[in-house]
Structure 1
Amino acid sequence: MDFDLGWILLGLPVAFVLGWLASRLDLRQLRIENRRAPKAYFKGLNYLLNEQQDQAIDAFIEAVQKDPDTTELHFALGNLFRRRGEYQRAVRVHEHLLSRADLSAADRQRAQHDLALDFLKAGLLDRAEDALRKLEGTRYEAQALLALLAIYERSRDWPQATEIAQKLQDHGEGSFSGRMAHYLCEQAAARNAAGDSEGATQLLARAITTAPQAPRPRIDQALMQVKADRPAEALRTLLELSSVAPQSVPLIASVLAQTGSAAGQVPQALAALQASYDSFASLDVLDAIVALESAQGTQREQARQRYLQHLEREQSLVATARWLAGEKLEHEQFHPQVQRAIEHATRPLTRYRCAACGFEAKQHFWQCPGCQAWDSYPPRRVEEL
């Protein structure tokens, strides 16, 4: 077969021209796509500024399709999904980022952190825990530890919560000794409920060592001693508490009066209560003093005089109701109705209020049932705040 060299010479220029045209078409298409991607990106930002999340998501999806290698678009899209409650879609976006081999170490840590937030918001605590554990040693470690602490508190896994709190304290994130004392008290309460009073006592002793200024361990210890019919020991514990944490005396004023009477040490109990009342005029403490004095034979009129003295010191509707309960009115037949009306009006004033979220309750809580904050309830009634 003859081979014509002329065809080769003719074909070379044609091939060159075709290649040049193809490259020009590719460059043109690339320019068009590059123009479209930023346009969709800025369109998404504009929607976000106008709080139009649905349109912003559509614009970011378009931008990601045009430029799938842009990590910032993926992060923006994932965060939008999470804010809208579309947790599964957020998880897919962040898992896709983590599967990329070209992702930088900083972006990989960020994607891992965002994935953990997705699981937390979705309530998948087991998967959130695994994701947060992988952030150890990264710049997100402190945030991850705080999130883990919230998970363990929520699930009432107090040993694990103690471990995380200790790590946070070691990392210089503040003092967590008070919280760790609460964890020990929670475990002690469970032991005591199960009948293991000795184990509960040991845990409370550890709690006192962990946070010497915390009032709860000594209060729980005193209540256990009262239940075990050891009033002298309970009184000793409460007197120690009044010197270590005097601000907490209103919480145990009635128990202090009862144990002082039961142990035959009324003067000591009265002295502690009076010292507390002198530093802060708490009605709980005043009620305990009146009850203790009345039990010792003090005349009723003298006891009522204490409420008048309190009114000279503090304006109190509750103290007024206490005094009025024993007063004779001009129209005595209407006294019960008046007394009930005043007591109804004062009932909200005798509640405790969380300083973090404002949640009010009849009893004092160490952890707020509303916002889960620890030690957010002052040991004072609403009227005294």
Structure 2
Amino acid sequence: MEFDLSWLLLGLPLAFGLGWLASRMDLRQWKRAQSDSPRAYYQGLNLLLNEQQDKAIDAFIEAVQHDPDTTELHFALGSLFRRRGEFERAVRVHQHLLNRGDLATSDRDRVQHELAQDFMKAGLFDRAEQAYKALQGTPFDTDARLALLGLYERSREWEQAADTAAALEKLGTGAFGTRIAHHWCERALELDGRGQPDEAAAALATARAAAPNAPRPLLLAGQRALRLGDAAGALALWGDLEVRDPQVFQLVAQDYAEAARAAGQQEAARQRLTEAYRRAPSLPLLRALARLDGAELADAPGLLPHLAAQPTLSAALGVLARPVEQWDAASAQAVREAVARAAKPLQRYRCAACGFEAQRHFWQCPGCLSWDSFPPRMLDEP
């Protein structure tokens, strides 16, 4: 049987035409798929910029369905879920990405960082800690350590917080000495509460070594010394504190006066407190001077001049505590000025819509332009 070449000549063009037609259909379908995904992506981006998060999430979900291999869409979707407080959905999105075998190392580290933030926001601190620890040695190392530091401080794990802060300082992230001192001070308070005085003293010593100029270790050490009956030791520690940080010293000024009375060093303490008051007059120092004589603030001879110079409500209350027979015109005038000064910030009207405050009543708020949003009563009225 002879082979008819005419069929071959007819079949080749037909096969070529069918192949070309099939390729065009595949190309058209591919282009349609590619165009659908960016359209949904840009639509979601536009909705996000317009603060329409619900619709933006729907658009991004549609885009992910069209192109499930696009990592950036997953990142955007996970961040949106976390911002909306839908932490479980955010975790699922990021864990789905993390389980992909074709994910680049840089993207994997980024996903791990996002997942750690999901756990942190959701209050799953144990899982957040593990997720952040997995980022050590990656480009997110510093961010992870800073997050762990905040996590340990929140959960009051002070020794781990101090170790993390020390590691950050070694990495050149910044100076953490004062923060480490606070960690060991908190640890000392915990140990004292548990009846472990020796360990508490060691923790305070570590705090002072971490930040020699920090005021809190000196303050706590003086309080511990006074509780243990060492009034002279407390005076020495607080005297050092007054030199280093006079403002913080005011927190223990009355305790300083009590320690001076217990140690029989009233005159030396009076000189120090008087000089400190001369440099920076304050009510705690004036109260401490009165305490040296076993008196209250109302009995302090310098109270009225202090009220005239600093008309505060606290000083006015001290004057009001005096017996009526000790009142005079100067006392009444000083109290009147103090009350007027304290009341002035409250003699305002506040917009119920935006919080804008003004000294006069407005029918339309100058801040948010709302009508009838100013109550007719001032802030100091019930």
- Normalising to structure 1: TM-score of the pair? 0.79
Q: Secondary structure at the match of 1:305?
A: coil
Alignment of 1:24-63 (within 5 A): 24-63=24-63
Query: Match of 1:356?
Result: none
Residue deviations 1:67-88, cap 9 Å, x none? 2232221111111111111112
> Displacement of 1:147 after TM fit?
0.9
Query: Match of 1:181?
Result: 181
Alignment of 1:10-29 (within 5 A): 10-29=10-29
Query: Match of 1:268?
Result: 268
Which has the larger displacement, 238-247 or 97-106? 97-106
Distance of aligned partners of 1:98 and 1:37 in 2 relative to their CA distance in 1, 3 Å threshold: same
Which has the larger displacement, 268-277 or 53-62? 268-277
Aligned mates of 2:31, 2:198 — CA distance in 1: 77
Query: Match of 2:301?
Result: 305
Residue deviations 1:147-203, cap 9 Å, x none? 101111122111111111012222232221112112112222222222221221122
Aligned mates of 2:2, 2:129 — CA distance in 1: 74
Which has the larger displacement, 313-322 or 144-153? 313-322
Aligned mates of 1:232, 1:59 — CA distance in 2: 72
Residue deviations 1:289-326, cap 9 Å, x none? 0121356xx9x99x543012212432223222212322
Q: Secondary structure at the match of 2:324?
A: coil
Query: Match of 1:317?
Result: 313
Query: Match of 1:162?
Result: 162
Amino acid at match of 2:203: L
Distance of aligned partners of 1:235 and 1:331 in 2 relative to their CA distance in 1, 3 Å threshold: closer
Aligned mates of 1:12, 1:127 — CA distance in 2: 65
Amino acid at match of 1:15: A
Aligned mates of 2:211, 2:262 — CA distance in 1: 29
Query: Match of 1:238?
Result: 238
> Displacement of 1:109 after TM fit?
2.2
Alignment of 1:41-190 (within 5 A): 41-190=41-190
> Displacement of 1:3 after TM fit?
8.9
Amino acid at match of 2:304: L
Aligned mates of 1:127, 1:195 — CA distance in 2: 32
Aligned mates of 1:223, 1:256 — CA distance in 2: 9
Amino acid at match of 1:177: G
Which has the larger displacement, 128-137 or 321-330? 321-330
Query: Match of 2:363?
Result: none
Residue deviations 1:81-131, cap 9 Å, x none? 111111122112222222334333332222221111111111111211111
**Cα contact 2:242–2:249 (8 A) shared by 1:** yes
Q: Secondary structure at the match of 1:185?
A: helix
**Cα contact 1:304–1:323 (8 A) shared by 2:** no
**Cα contact 1:165–1:180 (8 A) shared by 2:** yes
Alignment of 1:203-218 (within 5 A): 203-218=203-218
Task: Give the number of equivalent residue pairs.
Answer: 334
Query: Match of 1:372?
Result: none
Q: Secondary structure at the match of 2:281?
A: coil
**Cα contact 1:311–1:319 (8 A) shared by 2:** yes
Aligned mates of 2:74, 2:65 — CA distance in 1: 10
**Cα contact 1:249–1:276 (8 A) shared by 2:** no
Give identity over the alignment, percent.
Answer: 48
Amino acid at match of 1:113: H
User: CA RMSD of the aligned region, Å?
Assistant: 2.9
Amino acid at match of 1:218: L
Larger relative contact order, structure 1 or 2 (CA cutoff 8 Å, min sep 6): 1
Q: Secondary structure at the match of 1:152?
A: helix
> Displacement of 1:330 after TM fit?
9.9
Aligned mates of 1:173, 1:61 — CA distance in 2: 39
Q: Does 1:226 align with 2:222?
A: no
Aligned mates of 2:123, 2:8 — CA distance in 1: 70
**Cα contact 2:226–2:259 (8 A) shared by 1:** yes
